[in-house]
Chain A
Amino acid sequence: MPNEAIVSATNVTRVFGEGDASVKALDDVSLEFPEGRFTAIMGPSGSGKSTLMHLLAGLDRPTVGGVEIDGVALNDLDDGKLTEVRRDKVGFIFQFFNLLPVLTAEENIVLPLSLAGRKPHRKRFDELVEAVGLSDRVSHRPAELSGGQQQRVAVARALLSEPAVVFADEPTGNLDSKSSEEILALLRTAVDDYGQSVVMVTHDANAAATADRVVVLVDGRIVRDEPATSPEQVLDLMKQPA
């Protein structure tokens, strides 16, 4: 059932602060992410993209509404269980500061597995490191890697445990265009070749065009939700909100 929803948000609202100072970052959003698809979330700054991603990933809890990952309703979970969901079912790629400086690239990649007390699948690890082009770099520490290489380490980490879903918050935001392309290609391959589900927040139309689907947020609401075809089409979507 390739089109079964692996992540879903139902009537999610997130309010920050209280009273007059309160901000409604998300306003009654419902979304489903089918398995094995690559979704891009776009929208102007402050529109609630990161907030949505944090809710979907179990890093934050909605004020109203519910989130489900791989059949598990996050609302019912305590901190310990939620942590396990993040560890076992979710992969993360942040814009920067993805890696622990004291660990080598290899240790960073296997970190979620180590935290679970598990050993990585050796073949999968080698394949992945090969794919992200870091075979000769695994014993280096983050400080000894370039920004693009660091980001590729983060991608490898997110993919290694074959999580139900990978969330990426502006993973290319800090990179030059060549490095960006490499990262996007890696994510695309993961979706195409391994059936990985990926949700990516981005400001970049080119990046969004790599995805299968584009969701556009404005002021905490979904204004567009369409298949992605080309950078031009994505830019159009952004320019003329429905």
Chain B
Amino acid sequence: MTSIALRNLWARKLRTVLTALAIVLGVMMIAGTYVFTDTIDQAFDEIFTESNKGIDAVVTSKQAVKTDDAQDPPISASLLPEVRSTEGVAAAAGGIFDPQVAIIDKDGDPIGGNGAPSFGSSAQPRRFETLDYEGRAPRTANEVAIDKTAADKAGFELGDRVTVAGKESARPYRLVGFASIGDVDSFGGASIAVFTLPQAQLITGKQGEFDQIAVAADDDTTPGQLAANLTQVLPKNVEAETGEENTQSQKDDVGEFIGFLKTALLVFAGVALFVASFLIFNTFSITVAQRTREFAMLRTLGANRRQIVRSVALEALLIGFAASVIGLLLGIAFASAISSLFKATGIDLPSAGNVIGVRTVILSLAVGTVLTVVAALVPALRATRVEPVEGLREGIVVEAPGTKRLRTAIAVALTGLGLIAMLGGVFGVIGGSGAAWVGIGAGAMFLGVALLSPRLVRPLASLVGLPLERTRGVAGRLARENSVRNPGRTAATAAALMIGLALVSFVAIFAAGIRGSIDDAIDKTLGGDLILGSTDGFSDIPLTPVKAVEGVDGVAVASPYRYTQYASPDGDGYLSLVAPATAADVLKLDWRQGSDQTLTDLGPTEAVLDEKFADKRKLEVGDAFTVTTVSGRKINYTATGTFKDNTDFIGDYAASDVNARAYGEGQTTTSIFIKLDEGADTDAVRSGIDEQLKPFPTIKVQNQQELKDSISSQLNTLLGVIYALLALAVIVSLFGIVNTLALSIYERTRELGLLRAVGMSRRQTRQIVRYEAVITALIGAVLGLVLGVVFAITISRPLADEGFTLTIPVGSLLLLMVLAAAAGVVAAIGPARRASRLDVLEALSYE
């Protein structure tokens, strides 16, 4: 039986290759994900381990709020003498490590950007220095060292003048060294600029402060002891960790991010494999059906059932394993492709050579092989039901009506349960991770609809096939008939495509909703004419230019606006810090209690609340509530007004920015909103502002439309990545179409011969195949789009009262339909050629 399995594989090379390809792609993605994330992991590992080399303990501030950027507030420089005099301390040095210092390239634009931090740091005394320098470390106030990648990007050589922008006006420095850490060949997109300590403090606006103090123990003290000693003498808002602990906690911080990335990529890989399993299932179902006679013949010759299952399972095992090996190898190359994909969208991640873990190898091979065998098992078992006498009949598999009804019941139940799981996950009513429940729900719905789809094939084929039949005559008619001939087969093929398209359309609908709600938020809440923000779209900008901008002719108001975070025992959240005197000019609030005057009158410990927050905390105007800021300070606010935050722009409350320092935003701001004088010439004012912003290359000026556009383009970048990753699942499902067509054509060889004999041209033959592919693809598209809409509606439900308005982007969805049809045409190219090249006589005499 083994040799029969082998010979079958060989005899049907095309089918084998196509089935294998589907698995190859899925496994490739899994292996690629692991290699990619392991590689990043290792690079960060090395960076953090290296950066704490020679450091026994690290003193930093305690983070009172777990912020999105995980940035600790600075500590006072006055702690250094205290640290030095602590028992067991041999040496200590304060340092700066700030993620918002931009190196400016020769065109005046910040290098890198797009998310990767650009660090400003201080050169350390020799015993704490963890960077290696080509050239040397900065020694005077006007010297700088930068990393090699950044230097290469901008074409800087040693000795060049390099402009660096921090919290103050940008200034030029002389480049004296290229900094590097360990063997890491890239910090990712991150760049680093190293200054002397005083200069680093100055440029980051941290005069009299450090980001951390590095401590070395004397010979008699262990790092643990040292940290304990330090903790004892230092104030409460400061913590001391051993170097190792610090390395670990830094690793944990990025680990969370890498973990998220890994999960996301694995989800995409899972989708591709899920789709691939449809293809495998379908291929084996078809070939088993086609081989009914062969099995019957083998049975007559005395083969028992187990031998036949084993033969099919062995075939699956061989395909699965071989494909997994290839997938694994390609995955290693694919890791670099993922990296380039992220790089192309500006998300550069560090790397230090590909890391191929044993876990990656085992998992990839196991997943691919097991999945193939499992997907082939149902058809294999079906093969055992072949009775020897069936060899005498035509091999048509007739399903008993009983199983059909059962199948429909299961399908409906699965779809329903899937929807419930999804809703449960979305509203958090089921325990566990909401996202996981949504995923499980989606999977169940896919399976349910896939099981149901054989019933839908006929009506859908009529729907999408009738126009073809009308316009393309008999070729269209035959294509439609062929597509409904074996509804199960067409359904499985279409279902594979459905999955990819459902996800694509869901993402498209969701993105349109997000875009709409952002536009809405800007329209409804933003009263300013111009917005100053970071060139990268999300970093903070220095506060310094406010005064200068206010002085520009035609500027009525320049109001800094900060969006930041707080903590409280009742839950953490976001808030806005506004400049009370000018806020009412640039923000439009939908007041419930109070008025713009309330905002203007906002005292240091007064706040106006989003009514949702007020309801949740049961706060009335006049009530007080306490929050903890990033620096650990507790502020007791009194509510003076409430508003309806239709678009969730403000956060839970708005308060005066006199406390900005407590929130860790003393010298920075998220944006600066500008209101122009009545009738001012916008262009003239803009060029005036641009003039004032020359020393601040990290700030850009936008009007409302430009702001919307730039947010939209960031969203598009993200969408691009998601679509690129989903494309893989779609490609796998196209292989499915190719495979099904090829197998069906093989089955219909005689019919094709007859058609050709009675006058069908090659062109018409190709048309029939092509239209069948188009019909199958469109069935998949229709099912996919419907599911995509259902997903979008379900998942956006909880966001509805946060200003998320679901809009169905009809144009995009229609475009998707057209693309699906076009994909069908592409998938049909090979099979159509094969069909049209059939020798008429050979086909006619084909048994």
Query: Measuring CB to CB, which residues of chain A are less than 8 angstroms from any residue of chain B?
Result: 54, 57, 59-60, 79-80, 83-84, 86-88, 90, 92, 94, 97-103, 107, 111-112, 114-117, 157
- For residue B760, CB closer than 8 A to chain A, the reply is yes
Question: Is there an interface contact between B762 and A111, defined as CB atoms closer than 8 Å?
Answer: no
A79 surroundings in chain B (CB, below 8 A): 762
B478 surroundings in chain A (CB, below 8 A): 100, 102-103
A141 — nearest CB in chain B belongs to which residue?
B481
> Chain B's nearest CB lies how many Å from the CB of A62?
13
A110 — nearest CB in chain B belongs to which residue?
B474
Binds A, one of B217-225, B488-496, B497-505, B751-759: B751-759
Report the bound CA distance from A101 to B761 in whole Å: 19
Which 10 A-B pairs give the minimum distances between C-beta atoms? A87-B759, A102-B481, A114-B474, A83-B761, A112-B759, A86-B759, A115-B759, A112-B758, A115-B760, A59-B840
A115 surroundings in chain B (CB, below 8 A): 474, 755, 758-761, 764
Which interface residue of A83, A84, A101, A112 has the most chain B CB atoms within 10 A? A83
A116 surroundings in chain B (CB, below 8 A): 759
A117 — nearest CB in chain B belongs to which residue?
B473
Chain B 731-764 interface mask (CB, 8 Å, partner A; 1/0): 0000000000000000000110011111111111
Report the bound CA distance from A83 to B765 in whole Å: 12
B473 surroundings in chain A (CB, below 8 A): 114, 117
> Chain A's nearest CB lies how many Å from the CB of B448?
29
B758 surroundings in chain A (CB, below 8 A): 86-87, 92, 111-112, 115, 157
B475 — nearest CB in chain A belongs to which residue?
A115
A85 — nearest CB in chain B belongs to which residue?
B759
Report the bound CA distance from A88 to B760 in whole Å: 11
B483 — nearest CB in chain A belongs to which residue?
A102
Report the bound CA distance from A102 to B752 in whole Å: 12
A84 surroundings in chain B (CB, below 8 A): 759, 761
| A54-B841, A92-B757, A103-B477 given; 17 more Cβ-contact pairs under 8 Å | A79-B762, A83-B762, A84-B761, A87-B760, A88-B759, A94-B754, A100-B478, A101-B751, A102-B485, A107-B474, A111-B474, A112-B759, A114-B473, A114-B477, A115-B758, A115-B761, A116-B759
- Please tell me which one of the listed residues B477, B761, B762, B840 contacts residue A107 in the complex, with CB atoms under 8 A apart: B477
A80 surroundings in chain B (CB, below 8 A): 761-763
- For residue B420, CB closer than 8 A to chain A, the reply is no
Chain B 773-812 interface mask (CB, 8 Å, partner A; 1/0): 0000000000000000000000000000000000000000
B757 surroundings in chain A (CB, below 8 A): 57, 59, 86, 92, 94
A88 — nearest CB in chain B belongs to which residue?
B759
- For residue B482, CB closer than 8 A to chain A, the reply is yes
B750 — nearest CB in chain A belongs to which residue?
A97
Which interface residue of A57, A60, A86 has the most chain B CB atoms within 10 A? A86
> Chain A's nearest CB lies how many Å from the CB of B132?
72
A167 — nearest CB in chain B belongs to which residue?
B757
> Chain A's nearest CB lies how many Å from the CB of B760?
5
- For residue B844, CB closer than 8 A to chain A, the reply is yes
- Please tell me which one of the listed residues A57, A86, A97, A102 contacts residue B482 in the complex, with CB atoms under 8 A apart: A102
B761 surroundings in chain A (CB, below 8 A): 80, 83-84, 87, 115
Report the bound CA distance from A90 to B758 in whole Å: 8
> Chain A's nearest CB lies how many Å from the CB of B511?
42
> Chain B's nearest CB lies how many Å from the CB of A99?
8
Question: Is there an interface contact between A83 and B759, defined as CB atoms closer than 8 Å?
Answer: yes
Question: Is there an interface contact between B762 and A60, defined as CB atoms closer than 8 Å?
Answer: no
Report the bound CA distance from A48 to B473 in whole Å: 38
A92 surroundings in chain B (CB, below 8 A): 757-758
Q: A59-B841, A114-B473, A115-B764 are in contact. Are A100 and B751 (CB under 8 A)?
A: yes
Report the bound CA distance from A60 to B844 in whole Å: 12
Report the bound CA distance from A57 to B840 in whole Å: 12
A111 surroundings in chain B (CB, below 8 A): 474, 755, 758
Report the bound CA distance from A97 to B394 in whole Å: 13
Offer 6 A-B interface pairs, CB within 8 angstroms, sorted by A.
Answer: A83-B756, A86-B757, A99-B754, A103-B477, A111-B755, A116-B759
B246-266: which have CB < 8 Å to A?
Answer: none
Report the bound CA distance from A126 to B485 in whole Å: 29
B534-579: which have CB < 8 Å to A?
Answer: none
A83 surroundings in chain B (CB, below 8 A): 756, 759-762
B478 — nearest CB in chain A belongs to which residue?
A102
Report the bound CA distance from A88 to B485 in whole Å: 29
A60 surroundings in chain B (CB, below 8 A): 841
A102 surroundings in chain B (CB, below 8 A): 478, 481-482, 485
Which interface residue of A57, A60, A98, A102 has the most chain B CB atoms within 10 A? A102
> Chain A's nearest CB lies how many Å from the CB of B689?
69
Report the bound CA distance from A103 to B469 in whole Å: 13
B764 surroundings in chain A (CB, below 8 A): 115
Question: Is there an interface contact between A100 and B754, defined as CB atoms closer than 8 Å?
Answer: yes
A118 — nearest CB in chain B belongs to which residue?
B473
A57 — nearest CB in chain B belongs to which residue?
B757
Report the bound CA distance from A54 to B844 in whole Å: 11
> Chain B's nearest CB lies how many Å from the CB of A140?
15
- Please tell me which one of the listed residues A57, A88, A90, A97 contacts residue B754 in the complex, with CB atoms under 8 A apart: A97
Report the bound CA distance from A112 to B759 in whole Å: 6
> Chain B's nearest CB lies how many Å from the CB of A77?
13
B455-474: which have CB < 8 Å to A?
Answer: 473-474
Report the bound CA distance from A94 to B751 in whole Å: 12
Report the bound CA distance from A107 to B475 in whole Å: 12
> Chain A's nearest CB lies how many Å from the CB of B23?
33
B841 surroundings in chain A (CB, below 8 A): 54, 59-60
> Chain B's nearest CB lies how many Å from the CB of A24?
17
Report the bound CA distance from A83 to B762 in whole Å: 8
A98 — nearest CB in chain B belongs to which residue?
B754
Report the bound CA distance from A116 to B478 in whole Å: 15
A101 surroundings in chain B (CB, below 8 A): 751
B750 surroundings in chain A (CB, below 8 A): 97
A117 surroundings in chain B (CB, below 8 A): 473
> Chain B's nearest CB lies how many Å from the CB of A179?
21
Which interface residue of A80, A86, A100, A111 has the most chain B CB atoms within 10 A? A100
B762 — nearest CB in chain A belongs to which residue?
A79
B762 surroundings in chain A (CB, below 8 A): 79-80, 83
Report the bound CA distance from A101 to B754 in whole Å: 11
Report the bound CA distance from A60 to B758 in whole Å: 14
Report the bound CA distance from A54 to B757 in whole Å: 10
Report the bound CA distance from A90 to B841 in whole Å: 16
A54 surroundings in chain B (CB, below 8 A): 841
B481 — nearest CB in chain A belongs to which residue?
A102
A112 surroundings in chain B (CB, below 8 A): 758-759
Report the bound CA distance from A94 to B757 in whole Å: 10
Report the bound CA distance from A100 to B75 in whole Å: 85
A57 surroundings in chain B (CB, below 8 A): 757
A102 — nearest CB in chain B belongs to which residue?
B481
Report the bound CA distance from A48 to B481 in whole Å: 37
Report the bound CA distance from A100 to B756 in whole Å: 12
Which interface residue of B474, B756, B762 has the most chain A CB atoms within 10 A? B474
B474 surroundings in chain A (CB, below 8 A): 107, 111, 114-115
B758 — nearest CB in chain A belongs to which residue?
A112
Report the bound CA distance from A92 to B758 in whole Å: 7
> Chain B's nearest CB lies how many Å from the CB of A172?
18
Report the bound CA distance from A33 to B757 in whole Å: 21
Question: Is there an interface contact between B844 and A94, defined as CB atoms closer than 8 Å?
Answer: yes
Report the bound CA distance from A117 to B840 in whole Å: 21
> Chain B's nearest CB lies how many Å from the CB of A203?
17
A90 surroundings in chain B (CB, below 8 A): 759
